[in-house]
Structure 1
């Protein structure tokens, strides 16, 4: 039962994101492949990774990562900046152009939270928060 509930939640969140992304958005994402979108999301999730960290995450070569990153920088979805101490190290960061597109799901999630807070007691919300922390920790391991 828990598997089905979790899968249903994930599916509904993903479907809402893709529905809003595909229909009637004022922000367009130009010429981005599924692999490039995955790369952008991972950069966002890892919070300013280096080229090496991204290469390690995807288990692909450094030149392959560099090629993908350079394409996304040219399209305006990523920026890179030097480490202050070691100028050989570059960090990656998504741009506002990406965030405008990516955050289209925020209102949907905020509405879910507002409705959850209306329907549940403070204790239930607190327990749910604890459960989400455990779930998040487990998902990353």
Structure 2
């Protein structure tokens, strides 16, 4: 039962993302993102301001291919390169507000579901669910620690 319900929740979130991607793909404005670009943006978002090389490693892309993709996203205004405070030769990829404005439905749906959970269940249950999800991410999904290993700077906003 747990597996089936967990899969159903996961599938609903994926369907929300995929529907948004395909809707944007059909709309096709000059600044709209391709499916691969949305996936790249999601990787960058999960990694919380990676460098181009960290993004390349995570996405298993060559450095030149990753640099090309990043430059396309910069041209479209969805990410910016921000110089590192510690190493001036290094630049981090920061998502701009334009991404959340244009593709924010992805995040808004999750927030809407969380608001519904808070309304539907007692506060103790919501706190327990929150605690359980934290444990799932930090202890039971060790395979996804690759996000931390590749980024080398701890977990990001999107990864936890």
Task: Could you tell me which runs of 5 or more consecutive residues in structure 2 were left unpaired when the two chains were aligned.
Answer: 146-160
RMSD (Å), alpha carbons: 2.4
Deviation at 1:62, TM superposition (A): 1.1
- CA change 1:123–1:40 in 2 (3 A) is same
CA contact (8 A) 1:29 1:101 kept: no
- The equivalent of 1:83 in structure 2 is 84
Paired position in structure 1 for 2:123: 122
Partners of 1:61 and 1:16 in 2: CA distance: 30
Q: TM-score, normalization: structure 2?
A: 0.73
Q: Assess, with a 3 A threshold, how the Cα gap between structure 1 residues 75 and 91 changes in structure 2: closer, same or farther.
A: same
Partner residue, 1:108: 109
Mapped pair 1:5 → 2:35: no
Q: Please report how far the alpha carbon of residue 53 of structure 1 lies from its aligned counterpart in structure 2 after TM superposition.
A: 0.8
1:52 pairs with 2:53: yes
**Which structure has the higher relative contact order (CA within 8 Å, separation 6+)?**
2
Runs of 4+ aligned residues of structure 1 deviating over 6 Å after TM superposition are none
- Structure 1 residues without counterparts, runs of 5 or longer: none
